[in-house]
Structure 1
Amino acid sequence: MTAADETQMFDGIETLRDRVAADLARSRARSTALTDAVDDDDLVKQHSKLMSPLVWDFAHIANQEELWLVRDVGGREPVRHDIDEMYDAFQHPRADRPALPLLSPVETRSYVREVRDKVLDVLASTPLEGRRLVENAFAFGMIVQHEQQHNETMLATHQLRTGEPVLHADSPPAPPGPVVDEEILVPGGPFTLGTSVEPWALDNERPAHQVDVPAFVIDKYPVTNSAYLEFVAAGGYDQERWWSADGWAYRQKANLTSPRFWLRDGDRWLRNGFGLVEPLVPDEPVVHVCFYEAEAFAAWAGKRLPTEVEWEKAARHDPATGRSRRYPWGDEDPGPQHANLGQRHLRPARIGAYPAGESPLGVAQLIGDVWEWTSSDFHAYPGFVAFPYREYSEVFFGPDYKMLRGGSFGADASACRGTFRNWDYPIRRQIFSGLRLARDARPDESQ
């Protein structure tokens, strides 16, 4: 994508304002649905020490919106200056947040509405040019992505809550025909990684730069429940040889025996999804595995996890033109025919369900369904510049975090693209994470 392409994405300032308003409304509708689905007692409850009470997330969303859009972009007076510290994610670990004097559900909803009303006034009156923070409505896009990221976090909290199901959605589409998994060769050679022109790309996705990637082979589809079940049945969790030293130590400490939310029922396996317990669907991508489990499965299968660079090349590289696409299918925004995104469904789709979303090389379901663990640590690209604040990315760089790519059924299109980078601790399993396998190309394949 060129700079001209970036301009064409937003055809005029008024069109851009309409786009921002629609994205803000869509994000808020989802936040509201996730919080309205439970009563006030449930909103203030902590369902896991890994997660915040839902009411904290909702107020935090509005507080970030107030800080960046009302006060910074709009130059308006604070709505609630007194709560900034309480809703600063760096000041209070998730486990400690229930003890804070949080806004009540009624106060939170009132605060959320007041902030949004002011934001819409700011959107209508702010020139969306002349300052990097507002050029192409970047600050508004950042806040849209922030809210959608927290929506996925709140969805994970719903997965951890106990009780009757409160969320409902249609099933994903079925594959249109027979599905055959296969390996796909990605030829070696130069590739443009990252972006310098995507208007709402975050700092860690920038700048675009060329890398030379040796030929490798990647699976067409993510690893399925049935494939992962073979690892479980073969005693993969009991055999240290498949695990890294850190992975084996964690497997023993946490007593891991299967993916999170799998349940053994005699000779069969069930899965609890948002309170609904049902048999595993064999050809759905496995979900709720940590990096160490993904790494061990790959070793058992005689393969490995792709690097982050390999994943992005498989997703974006068009060998016919040599350019990098925004998405596997091209430059157009994701539609329901391309990928399982945005909580339209509450589970991964069966493999083969989105042929329209395949990459030029034929790699499928790279966007949506499950975040895919890669073998890479979180690092800056050459020429990285923190913007608009260090705490978005820079403070997380280093070996403590592993990279995930592609998004999940709970990720929104605004916060998921071919260059989007997600990261988490290698022990995390409550997130909607799965894996895809890769291997080095043999000499006879890479000719």
Structure 2
Amino acid sequence: MSPLPPFDPALFTSEGDRAALRTVLRHHWAACRDRTLALFDRITASHFCPQLHSDYSPLGWHLGHLGWTEELWILQQCAGEKPLDPTLNRLFAADSLPKAERQNLPDRGWILDYLAEVRSRVLAYLDRAPVDQQVRLWVWLLQHESQHNETVAFLHRLATGLPPLPATALPSPDFDSVIIPAGTVVVGCDRIETQDNERPAQRVWVDGFECDRFPVTQGQYHEFIAADGYQNPDHWSAAGWQWRTTHAITQPLHWQPDPTGQHHPVCGISYYEAEAYAHFVGKRLPTEWEWEKAAGSNGSGETLWPYPWGEDPPQPHHSNFDTQIGHTTAVNAYPQGQSKTGCWDLLGNVWEWTATPFAPYPGFEAYPYRGYSAAYFDGQHQVMRGGSWATRPWGLRNSFRNWYQPWVREIFVGVRLVRSL
């Protein structure tokens, strides 16, 4: 896929060039929608309407929801237009029908026509929109579509199974660790693309710690399985052991024990499994601020880089993201993506669990509606960092916070471990 033009911060001010900003937004919106349509081109009719997992909506619902959300925020809220079809609110609103009742969908062709009609009207409005005042919303919608893309990707993979991992000629990773010195850093971010839960940026003190250079690989995790780690309650928290025994869990969800994948990151583990493995090897999960410091420290001052490699937006040589590969890669496949601290594979490939419960930063302000993040500040969700091979570029940055309940493992998620100094 061709590189995306960068968002120039100068365009996000009231003095910015509206025409230039419209051009950039058009390019990004077209690129994001192209990815959505390409993703759904691979989804057969047998997988479009059924609910593939009890915790998630049908794949086809996500497609309709994208059009409905775009219509709601741009055409209705910004342009002041009336709904194209008020009955769609009940079907495609996120807080309407229970997920199990979302299977009675219009056919794919109708939903695609609806998306095209909404997009046509949105682009017509863009020509006259005060985009310098609305740009945060337009960029939020890019990320909204991107996040639904990733949900569709992992649900589709659950239904179709994992492809065999190709052999790699890469040498074995150097499984050592790096020392991250103590100090104050600015975590979070106030850039226009950041979500409400990433804001406001704040200065925090982070104690020194030792961080694994790579995320935990399948080869490393296999040692836990071979040592009967799933049968030994000593490694597990009380909640984790209850979950493991109740569901008879004996290995990661996306487990591919073939030797060709031994240097790929372990993928499809719950927070409970990550925690148990950490106990097995005598380490712990990082806090999210430890993770962010390891990813973004540039070696000078308190300011963190937005990406491990610096200021430049993600490109294919940096990491495995945007479904460009279609599966995980070896953790040492992207030397140009490593951080200044010496950590590899921080963005893309697999998400990484942290020890931090999902909670608001001091000074949090909900956007674009009160429940977007705040509904999950319930003490029952853990923060994940980093992104996966299916994460779109609009959601790939050091400060991005993903969140799931500790038993969830359908997503493409692994772990990187640390040790206190």
Normalised to the residue count of structure 2, the TM-score between the two structures is 0.93
CA distance in 2, matches of 1:361, 1:405: 17
Partner Cα separation in structure 2 for residue 436 and residue 163 of structure 1: 25
Mapped contact 1:294–1:373 kept (Cα < 8 A):
yes
Report how far residue 335 of structure 1 moved: 0.6
The residue number in structure 1 matching 2:179 is 185
Against the structure 1 CA distance between its residues 5 and 381, is the aligned structure 2 distance closer, same or farther, given a 3 Å change threshold? farther
Q: Say if 2:399 is the partner of 1:419.
A: yes
The answer for the alignment partner of 2:88 in structure 1 is 83
1:388 matched to which residue of 2? 368
Q: Deviations over 1:386-437 (max 9, x none)?
A: 1221111011103100110000000011012111100001111110000000
Q: CA RMSD in A?
A: 2.3
Task: Report how far residue 8 of structure 1 moved.
Answer: 6.7
**Deviation at residue 174 of structure 1 after TM alignment:** 6.6
Structure 1 residues 172, 281: closer, same or farther in 2, change over 3 A? closer
Q: Is the 8 A contact 1:183 1:219 kept in 2?
A: yes
Which secondary structure state, in structure 2, belongs to the residue aligned with residue 439 of structure 1? strand
2:37 aligns to what? 32
Look up the SS of the partner of 1:28 in the other structure. Answer: helix
CA 1:218 to 1:5, structure 2 compared with 1: closer, same or farther past 3 Å? farther
Partner of 1:240: 233
1:341 alignment partner, one of 299, 321, 325: 321
Match of 1:159 in 2: 157
Q: What letter corresponds to residue 379 of structure 1 in structure 2? A: A
User: What displacement does 1:178 show?
Assistant: 5.7
Aligned match of 2:123: 120
Quote how far apart the aligned CAs of 1:75 are: 2.1
The alpha carbon displacement at 1:58 in A equals: 0.2
Q: Following the alignment from structure 1 to structure 2, what is the Cα–Cα distance between the partners of residues 172 and 355? A: 18
When structure 1 is superposed on structure 2, of 247-256 and 64-73 the one drifting more is 64-73
Correspondences of 1:42-441 after superposition (within 5 Å) = 42-98=47-103, 101-129=104-132, 131=133, 134=134, 137-162=135-160, 175=170, 179-196=173-190, 198-262=191-255, 269-270=257-258, 281-441=261-421
Gaps of 5+ in 2: 1-6
Name the count of aligned residue pairs. 413
Structure 2 vs 1, CA of residues 5 and 66 (structure 1 numbering), >3 Å: closer, same or farther?
closer
1:320 Cα shift? Answer: 2.2
Where in structure 1 are there 5+ consecutive unaligned residues?
264-268, 271-278, 442-447
Secondary structure in 1 matching 2:381 = strand
| Residues 89-118 of structure 1: CA deviation (Å, up to 9, x unaligned) | 2223323322xx422212111111111111
Q: Which residue of 2 aligns with 1:266?
A: none
**How many angstroms apart in 1 are the aligned matches of 2:122 and 2:322?**
23
- The answer as to whether partners of 1:216 and 1:438 remain within 8 angstroms in 2 is yes
Deviates more, 1:82-91 or 1:214-223: 82-91
Report percent identity of matched pairs.
Answer: 37
**For the residues of structure 2 that align with 1:30 and 1:47, how far apart are their CA atoms?**
21
- Larger mean CA deviation between 296-305 and 74-83 belongs to 74-83
Q: What is the letter of the counterpart of residue 331 of structure 1?
A: E
Alpha-carbon displacement from aligned partner over 1:64-86 (angstroms, at most 9, x marks no partner): 11111111122223222221122
Give the secondary-structure state (helix, strand or coil) at the position aligned to 2:379: strand
Distance in 2 separating the partners of 1:186 and 1:397: 29
TM-score of the superposed pair, with normalisation by structure 1? 0.88
Q: Could you tell me whether the CA contact under 8 Å between 2:221 and 2:277 is conserved in 1?
A: yes
Provide the residue aligned with 1:20 in structure 2.
25
Aligned to 1:444: none
